Amino acid sequence: MASKKNMGKVGAILFAAGLPLGLFAGGTAFADEIDNTSTADAYVDQWTDVSTDQDAHANTGDNDAMSGVWGENWTEQDADASASEGNISAEDADDAIAGNAGGTNDQTSSSTNDGTSAATISTGPASATNTAATTVAQDNSGGASSTQGVTQDDIDGASLYNSSAAYLTVTQGASVGTSQSAHANTGGNGAYSGVGGYNGTGQYANAAASGGNIDGYDAAGATAGNTGGSNTQSSTSANTGNSTASVTTGAATSSNSSTTSVSQTNSGGASSSQTVDQSDIDD
């Protein structure tokens, strides 16, 4: 058995070391066991989510140019230069002259269509550019540390359980998404040009001669005759069309640029340090 002097000494040591003084019962007995436990726990969670969506358009439009020319001409003529009748009827028709001469018919028809059509679409230079820069940086330093020190001197009839634990959990995550779209002069441009012409001519002429008969009991030396007239018809139709459709697009440039940088750094950790100094422990 230890003396009261030694018991006081042990109690002072345990108090200085942070150990429970319940080792003693009534100040005169020793505890059978000393349980000293130290635990350190550190948890670090880092997460980054970056999303970039870009869209650029230049001269992509549904441009539409239309031009049209239409002409229609219609001419109708009717002429009658005919000669009829002119008959001679007599009892004495000696040396009679009977005859019909058709007249002169001159017709001229001229139709002209002249059309010029132009449709033009012109777009200037187009440039579509997307630039995306994403930087993600994660840094964790430090950790969990557990330090324990126990010093026992001249303790009889006791046992010591000393436990120290340190835990460190680090979770780092980075997610980067970039979506880009650029269009330049992709357009549906359309140019339409058309020319149409129609000419129609109808002519009718009559220069006939009819009749001119001689009827008599005495027609010695009589002359009868018909002479047809003159009929001249002229028809001229002309269509002239000039159609031009043009689509011109300037220089087109489409560019996408994306730069992504992700940096993750973790330093530190878990540390457990335990010191036990026992001197002159019996049993």
List, for residues 170-217, the tens digit of each pLDDT value: 888 889 999 999 888 777 788 899 988 888 888 888 888 887 777 777
Q: SS3 for 202?
A: strand
The residues with which 190 forms a beta bridge, in sequence order, are 64
**Residue 220, in any domain of the structure:** yes
Largest Cα–Cα distance in the chain? Answer: 200
Element (H, E) at 240: strand 230-249
**Total of domains in the chain:** 1
What letter does residue 73 receive in the DSSP assignment? E
How many CB atoms are located within 10 Å of the residue 168 CB? 19
Q: How far, in Å, are 18, 40, 173, 265 from residue 141 at the CA level?
A: 30, 16, 16, 8
Which phi and psi angles does 27 have, rounded to 5°?
A: 75, 5
**Residue 13, in any domain of the structure:** no
Which phi and psi angles does 88 have, rounded to 5°?
A: -120, 125
Q: With contact defined as beta carbons under 8 Å apart, do 209 and 103 qualify? A: no
> How far apart (Å, rounded) are the C-alpha atoms in residues 115 and 68?
9
**Residue 17, in any domain of the structure:** no
The residues with which 117 forms a beta bridge, in sequence order, are 243
Give the pLDDT score at 277.
65
**Residue 265, in any domain of the structure:** yes
> How far apart (Å, rounded) are the C-alpha atoms in residues 69 and 251?
32
> How far apart (Å, rounded) are the C-alpha atoms in residues 41 and 167?
5
Q: With contact defined as beta carbons under 8 Å apart, do 124 and 187 qualify? A: no
Give the HSE-up count for residue 118: Cα atoms under 13 Å, Cβ half-sphere: 4
pLDDT tens, residue order, the chain (283 aa): 444 444 444 444 444 444 444 444 344 444 556 677 788 888 888 888 999 999 888 877 678 888 998 888 888 888 888 888 777 777 777 777 777 888 888 888 888 888 899 999 888 788 889 999 989 888 877 677 877 776 665 555 666 677 888 888 888 888 999 999 988 877 778 889 998 888 888 888 888 888 777 777 777 777 777 887 888 888 888 888 899 999 888 788 888 899 989 888 877 678 877 776 666 555 5
> How far apart (Å, rounded) are the C-alpha atoms in residues 138 and 6?
56
**Residue 83, in any domain of the structure:** yes
**Residue 26, in any domain of the structure:** no
DSSP sequence for 42-79: EEEEEEEEEEEEEEEEES-S--EEEEEEEEEEEEEEEE
**Residue 1, in any domain of the structure:** no
Tokens standing for residue 182:
């650029």
User: Residue 42 is part of which domain span?
Assistant: 32-279
> How far apart (Å, rounded) are the C-alpha atoms in residues 241 and 268?
87
**Residue 65, in any domain of the structure:** yes
The residues with which 252 forms a beta bridge, in sequence order, are 126
What's the mean pLDDT when you consider all of the chain? 77
With a CB cutoff of 8 Å and minimum separation 6, the contacts of 150 are 17, 19, 34, 36, 160, 162, 274, 275, 276, 277
